[in-house]
Amino acid sequence: MAVTTRTVAETCAAAQRAARELGSASTEVKNAALEGIARLLVERTADVLEANTADLADERAQGLSAALQDRLALSAERIAAMADGVRAVAALDDPVGEALERKDLDGGLHLRKVRVPLGVVAVVYEARPNVTIDCAALTIKSGNAIVLRGSHYAERTNGALAAIVREALAEAGLPEDAAVLLAGGGHEDLAELATREDTVDLLIPRGGEGLKNALKSVATVPVIYAAAGNCHVYVHADADLEMARRIAVNAKTQRPGVCNAAETLLVDAAVAAEFLPQALAELRDAGVVLVGDERARASGGGVEVGVAGEEDWDSEYLDLKLAVAVVDSLDDAIEHVNRHGTRHSEAIVTGSEQAAVRFTAGVDAAVVYTNASTRFTDGFEFGMGAEIGNSTQKLHARGPIGPRELTTYKYVVRGDGQLRE
């Protein structure tokens, strides 16, 4: 088990020391550590699955919804996909040392603006043990140390995965403390982690609004909120309705317990009577519980649709449940999305280029899709190998957070004795 028994302060200080060494490591050494993680994941698959089975059988996991249990569960295929993701991160260009700008200043000074690691990144996350590997891979590639705090009900799995990361770091000659896993302690430990301004450079919470609000009230370190995804699919009046049906079903059912799954379906009034009966029937047959406004219920063609309350338009279900509304226009759809969405991922299905441009410009979200499922908002799908989270903010990262988003920059100025007059 790789869970640290040190205090939060001791753990963060150890990570800071490791970050100083990792930050100057060569690309080759960092990639060797990543290749080691991928290899050990395959070699230790049975051990990881044993730990995961024990977590799933623990009473702490028994109260989770089916969707959250799916997020917790691993399989040989999912572990192999994790290894593939690590290899993909290793294949990316190293952002550290990249020159963003070069110029010669008056007086002969030469200035370069170069990417450098942030230092220590702390990630607080719920349920999904693959986050342990994804986050560690991205921070290693970008030269940062990582402090991981996962769910108490995934403790065994996270421990087995963190042990693999630490072993691979040591094999590559890098400090093990570049990846440390805190035990899932109480609110006091979380609050301390969020206030370690002396040792933590960035905190990224991956969880629901409860976690986000708990950190907002105490955090003094910089935070990027990889927060809730109340995502929408809007079926425009000019949509290919067969395409729209396939996109809506995929966005809701392909994996409902993740932040880029659709939670609300908006349908233009001009096509509601034609579109909704078949689409809602397919969603119902896939096990989706449907709630909707009065017009959506009236257009359902006999499919049972419950009454949507005000809270449903603001809910991230993370489950097989979907809110459905009929809107009168593109402008009404944009207004609904901006009022109820979480700035994560939004989609329009339309054959009108003008409508697509207006929706893309009008919707305030990190990722906006035309004629595609919201399920593609993912670091792996975006060519980043993995992601450390999906930022719904605008500073300093937005959307999937990859290696470049885990860097800052410094100015390096070279002279030959210049003095300012």
CATH number (domain holding residue 250)? 3.40.309.10
Report, as an integer, the average pLDDT of 198-227. 88
Report, as an integer, the average pLDDT of 154-183. 96
Q: CA 6 → CA 1, 14, 93, 310, 407, distances in Å?
A: 14, 10, 35, 45, 27
| Distance in angstroms (rounded) separating the CA atoms of residues 320 and 325 | 17
Over 50: is that where the pLDDT of 80 sits?
Answer: yes
Q: Kindly state whether residues 256 and 218 are assigned to the same domain.
A: no
The residue range of the domain holding 340 is 231-376
Domain assignment of residue 269, yes or no: yes
Q: Kindly state whether residues 8 and 58 are assigned to the same domain.
A: yes
| Residue from 419, 409, 338, 414 nearest 143 by CA | 409
Domain assignment of residue 255, yes or no: yes
Q: What's the whole-number average pLDDT of the chain? A: 94
Could you give the angle at the alpha carbon of 232 between the alpha carbons of 230 and 237, nearest 5°?
165
Write the pLDDT tens digit of every residue in 379-405. Answer: 889 988 888 888 988 888 999 999 999
Q: Kindly state whether residues 187 and 279 are assigned to the same domain.
A: no
What CATH code is carried by the domain that includes residue 36?
Answer: 3.40.605.10
Over 90: is that where the pLDDT of 48 sits?
Answer: yes
Q: Kindly state whether residues 129 and 199 are assigned to the same domain.
A: yes
Which tokens is 172 given?
A: 């590559």
Domain assignment of residue 392, yes or no: no
Q: Kindly state whether residues 29 and 116 are assigned to the same domain.
A: yes
**pLDDT for 211:** 82
Which tokens is 403 given?
A: 């290696």
Q: Kindly state whether residues 143 and 265 are assigned to the same domain.
A: no
Q: Kindly state whether residues 324 and 198 are assigned to the same domain.
A: no
Report, as an integer, the average pLDDT of 307-327. 96
Domain assignment of residue 391, yes or no: no
SS3 345: strand
- DSSP structural state of residue 117: E
**Banded model confidence at residue 121, pLDDT cuts 50, 70, 90:** very high
Number of domains in the chain: 2
| Distance in angstroms (rounded) separating the CA atoms of residues 392 and 381 | 18
Q: Kindly state whether residues 19 and 118 are assigned to the same domain.
A: yes
Q: Kindly state whether residues 218 and 122 are assigned to the same domain.
A: yes
Report, as an integer, the average pLDDT of 55-82. 89
Over 50: is that where the pLDDT of 1 sits?
Answer: no
User: Global pTM?
Assistant: 0.87
**Banded model confidence at residue 339, pLDDT cuts 50, 70, 90:** very high
Domain assignment of residue 153, yes or no: yes
Report, as an integer, the average pLDDT of 30-42. 98
- DSSP structural state of residue 223: B
Domain assignment of residue 421, yes or no: no
Over 70: is that where the pLDDT of 185 sits?
Answer: no
Domain assignment of residue 284, yes or no: yes
Q: Kindly state whether residues 132 and 275 are assigned to the same domain.
A: no
**pLDDT for 206:** 85
**pLDDT for 293:** 98
**pLDDT for 387:** 87
Domain assignment of residue 390, yes or no: no
Q: Which long-range contacts (C-beta less than 8 Å, at least 24 apart) are formed by 106-110?
A: 107/415, 107/418, 108/415, 108/416, 108/418, 109/413, 109/414, 109/415, 109/418, 110/413, 110/414, 110/415
Q: Kindly state whether residues 316 and 201 are assigned to the same domain.
A: no
Q: Kindly state whether residues 28 and 141 are assigned to the same domain.
A: yes
